[in-house]
Structure formats: C-alpha cells, structure tokens
Amino acid sequence: MTITTERVQPLPSNKKLANRWILSLILLTALLLAAPGMWATLASRMALAHSSDAPVLGNLLVLPNLTPTAPATATSASQATAKATNTSEPTTIQTTATSSTPETTVKVSGYSVNLRTGPESNFTKVRKLTFGELLVPLGRLSDNTWLYVKTSEGLDGWVSTALVDLAGNNTEILLVKTPPPAETPTLTGRVSGEPVNLRAAPDVEAVVVRKLTYGEELTLLGRLRDNTWLYVKTSDGLEGWAHRDWVDLAGRLVNYLPVKTAPPRVIPPPVALAGIEGHWIDIDLGDQMLYAFEGDELVGSFLVSTGTVLYPTRTGMYHVYAKFPFIDMQGSDYNLPNVPSSMFYDGDFSIHGTYWHHNFGTRMSHGCINMDSKEAEWLYNWSQVGTLVYIHW
C-alpha cells in the first residue's frame, strides 16, 4: 500500500502580505486616476435606484467599464457646458471674419484722355490716361459731369464722366467735392518779325528792354484795352511790351488776358517856337500830344494817335490847306464815312476826329493825326486855312 503524502504550502510571511497590499493600493490608485468619471456615474445610478419615482432598471450595479479614457480637454469641457445651457432659445455664435471689400473702380473709355488738376479742360494736365485704365473714384461735382479719381500709382485728379465707363456704379454715393479755383490759362505767342523790340512801355519811343529774335516764344501776361500792345515775358524772365503786329498768336484770343495799364508817361512841357505869331499847332510824335499855341502862349493840349510803325506820320512844317466838317475816307484796308472835323495839311494826311477808337496816346493811324471828336471840333473851329502845323519827335 502506497502512502500518498500531500505537501502543505506554508503560510505567506507578513512581509509578503504587506507587499501584496502595497501593489493593490497602487493598482487601485491608477484606476481612480485613469477613470475619474467612473465613480460619479456609479453614484448617480445608485441614487436613481433608490428614488421612488424612478423606474426599476434592473441590475444597476453593473460594473463600470474600467477602460481608461482620455483626460477631459478644454474643448470637451466647453462642449459639456454648452450642452448644459438652456436651449429653449437659439444661441447665435458671432464669429469675426476677416473680409476685404474691393474698391469701386471705373474704367477709362476714351483715347487721349487727360487727368487734370481741376474739372475744366483749361486746368493743368496731371498725365495722360490710357484706354481701359482702372481708376478709383473719390468724389464728384454736384452735376456728375466730372469725377475726382485716383490712379493705380496714387495720382489724384479730375476726369470727365463722359470719358469713363462707370460699369453700373452709382456715382450719387460719392461725396460732392469742391473744385479748386479756376486757373488762368497760359497763353503764348511767337515773335513774327526781326528785329522786334521788347519795350518798357507800350510806345515805340519807350526804353528798349532787349531785342527779340524771330520765332522766340513769349508768355502773354496782359494787353492794352485795344489789343495793340501785349505785355509779355521772355524765356529768360524779362517782362515788357511787344507790339501786337509782331507777335504770332496762332489763332489764340487775347481777350482772355487781363487788361494792363501802361506805366504813366512823364510829358515835358512844350516849348514854343520863337518868332511865330498867331495860331499854330505843335505835334509831338514821341509824347503823342498835340498843342495849340497863340504865339508863345499855350491854349490847348490834347492826347492824339499818330501813325504806326508800318504807316508812320511824316515830320516837318506844314500848313492847313483844306478843311471839311465831314468827309469820307477810304484806303486799301479801311472805309470810314463821315469823318468829322478834318483839316488837311500834307496830301491825304489830315488832323481829324475819330469815332472808331478811343485809344489815344498809342500809335493807331495810317499816318493821320487822330483826335477825340469833341476835341477835334474845338481845334477845327479854332484854326483856319494856312495855320502852321509843326510835326516832330
């Protein structure tokens, strides 16, 4: 008979039991850290089970899933908060979107279109615009005839609305812009003769500032009221007067120029000829003056207009040989009926009244002596056939 012996395992020592307890605590701690929501879920189920109003859900003590879950993040926490919020009213979440609204543009629809400093064709050109070029409108005139625009390189200026394609844009939304003050157009002319003198006053006897050369460009600054002399500036900055006959204006209208007053002339007192008795007439071409003398006594002084450079008045001593209260005068380029108070002293040359101009003091005639009609009438009645006429510089 075989005797079976059973080996009895010895009881674990206290030290081994302690190690096992420590290991169990570590595992339990890990479970608690890995699943923080597990115990909250278990507690809520147990509370529901003891509630008198809650339905019986069977075995509520189902062991929770011990699989570790990812830690809660800020996003999941915010989502949980959002779910817990009262949803009876929709919540609008506003987001800030970065969007860029393109600038409104218009397109140049013509050729040789100018961008100008003001809304008129006489304003200075900023530059030429090309066909199809895009412009940003910044403003407008109140009548929408001109737009204030900006080019792609940042130049500002005005362009006619008729020369751009608005592409359906409503210009009424643009601010009405006050245009700059109107510019005085710059007019130029060229010297058409040689030699031509630039003078200090509108008078052929005035001091010569310098000689002008044929074709030289002059900037026109002003004019006499009758347009016979122009006040000009040369390219080297000299200013003075040039006779209208020697400036080619190329069709430009000088009436745009301001009327300029000629500098005052200092007229010396006349000197009577010695030994002459009775009535006699002294005409000073330099001063454009006529003096009436009785012997050596001056009885009348009158501003007159004598012959131009092309038709100079001849100097010398003459005598009145014929008088006509009215007479018709004709020439190759004039036809003047009923010229008043005419006194002929040298062929066809006479002293007479003038109704076709009042620019006395400036050379205007074809060689005759032009006077104001009222003054010519006085002289006509004062003088007689045979009266001495002395003409000099």
Full 3-state SS string of 268-313: CCCCCCCCCCCEEEEEECCCCEEEEEECCEEEEEEECECECCCCCC
In this structure, the answer to whether residues 229 and 128 fall within a common structural domain is no
Question: Which pLDDT belongs to residue 278?
Answer: 94
> Which CATH number covers residue 312?
2.40.440.10
Residue carrying structure tokens 């510019």:
183
Helix (H, G, I), strand (E, B) or coil at 32: helix
Relative to beta strand 349-354, strand 369-372 is parallel
Domain ranges, residue 132? 106-173
Domain presence at residue 380: yes
Residue 248 corresponds to which tokens in the numbers above? 């080619």
Asked whether residue 301 falls in the same domain as residue 370, the answer is yes
What pLDDT is stored for residue 16 in this prediction? 56
Q: Which residues have CB under 8 Å from 14's CB, separation 6+?
A: none
Element (H, E) at 149: strand 146-150
Let me know whether 231 and 284 are in one domain.
Answer: no
Condensed to tens digits (0 to 9), the pLDDT of residues 7-36 reads 555 555 555 555 666 777 777 776 666 555
Token pair 């301001």 is found at 258
- Flag whether 372 is in a domain: yes
Distance CA 23, CA 25 (A): 5
Q: How far apart are CA 393 and CA 391, in angstroms?
A: 7
Q: Indicate whether 385 belongs to any domain.
A: yes
Q: What per-residue confidence (pLDDT) applies to 114?
A: 93
Q: Is the pTM of this model over 0.75?
A: no
Q: Let me know if residue 88 belongs to a domain.
A: no
Residue 225 forms part of a structural domain:
yes
Give the length of the chain. 393
Q: Give the three-state DSSP class for 127.
A: strand
Tell me: do 228 and 156 sit in the same domain: no
91 within a domain of the structure (yes/no)? no
- Among 146, 173, 200, the domain-final residue is 173
pLDDT at 102: 55
How high is the mean pLDDT in each 10-residue block of the chain (393 residues)? 51 58 70 58 52 45 47 45 45 43 80 90 86 92 92 94 85 80 75 87 82 91 89 90 89 77 70 89 92 93 92 96 96 92 97 93 93 96 97 93
43 is a domain residue = no
pLDDT of residue 98: 41
Number of domains in the chain: 3
The two tokens of residue 72 are 């809660």
How many Å is the Cα radius of gyration of the chain?
55
Q: What is the pLDDT of residue 255?
A: 76
pLDDT tens digit string along 167-195?
777 777 788 888 777 666 678 899 998 78
134-140 and 146-150: which strand pairing? antiparallel
